Amino acid sequence: MNDPIRIGSLYPGRIQPNALSQNRTVKSAEAQGPAFKDLLQNRLLHFSNHAVKRLEQRGIELKPEQLSQIESAIDSAAAKGAKDSLILMKDMALIVNVNNRTVVTAMDGNSMKDNVFTQIDSAVIIS
């Protein structure tokens, strides 16, 4: 009964401090990861390939404050149940898929003249 207990005889593997708590932390982070990623994706503004080409062709550069205004406009359109929205800014127009938060195309002031916008269900005017 007085025999010493050797750790190797009870648990043949290597003992690591806090191994169990580390595994729990990793598992809980993995479980929360996709939810956070989805949340982040729902808050970001995306640009389709077509929109990126149009922005480049037309020399439109969006400043951070303009991107913030566009995101707010999308939030407003989503709150009203919009699906495809025209966002009008001072010298540009954007067609946005509200559900995907994706800018589909962009036009500068010159390209907007004498144009008809179709397949939209709402318009948001940013002043």
Spatial CB neighbours of 58, under 8 Å, sequence gap ≥ 6: 106, 107, 108, 111
Model pLDDT for residues 13-54, shown as the tens digit of each residue: 454 454 444 444 445 545 545 666 665 566 689 999 999 999
CB 82 within 8 A of CB 99: no
Could you tell me the pLDDT band of residue 1, with boundaries at 50, 70 and 90? low
Chain-wide mean pLDDT for the chain?
79
Distances (CA, A) of 110 to 19, 76, 106: 63, 27, 12
Give the model's pLDDT for residue 93: 95
Give the model's pLDDT for residue 77: 96
Distances (CA, A) of 19 to 25, 41, 99, 127: 10, 33, 42, 56
* Between 29 and 59, residue with greater pLDDT: 59
Give the model's pLDDT for residue 127: 82
* Between 55 and 19, residue with greater pLDDT: 55
Taking the C-alpha atoms of residue 127 and residue 48, their distance in angstroms, rounded to an integer, is 24
pTM assigned to the model? 0.67
Whether 98 shows a pLDDT value over 90: the answer reads yes
Give the model's pLDDT for residue 39: 55
